[in-house]
Amino acid sequence: MPGKSLPSVSLFRFDKIIHVVIFGVFAWLVLRAYFLSGNNSNQTSVYLIVGVSTILFGIAIEGMQQYIPDRGTDRYDVIANTFGIVLAQFIFYFVHRKKVT
């Protein structure tokens, strides 16, 4: 969706909230898939690997947007993506800490 068509909110930019939600859900689903696979060894490295890989994916997606008409690279989108990923990981940990340990 072209960024121009998204509404702007005075306190928060609406597109940044969308980035937080989308990448938060993405990180949550990756974590859920891993833990549902039954491989629950070394949870700290799982959170680190999922965090780093989803953040790198967000950076790559943002970088590719410079080649799409009416789109552009925005470092604040990368920050919003990263915030959503980290927030989702914290929430996932606290919701599932008794289930995965």
pLDDT of residue 99: 58
Model confidence at 35: pLDDT above 90: no
Could you give phi then psi for residue 94, rounded to 5 degrees?
Answer: -70, -30
pLDDT tens readout for residues 54-81: 999 999 999 999 999 888 888 889 999 9
pLDDT of residue 12: 59
Contacts of 61 (CB under 8 A, 6+ apart): none
Per the listing, tokens 């549902």 go with 36
Cβ contact 47:71 at 8 Å: no
pTM (predicted TM-score): 0.79
Average pLDDT taken over every residue of the chain? 84
**Residue count of the chain:** 101
Model confidence at 9: pLDDT above 70: no
Contacts of 76 (CB under 8 A, 6+ apart): 13, 16
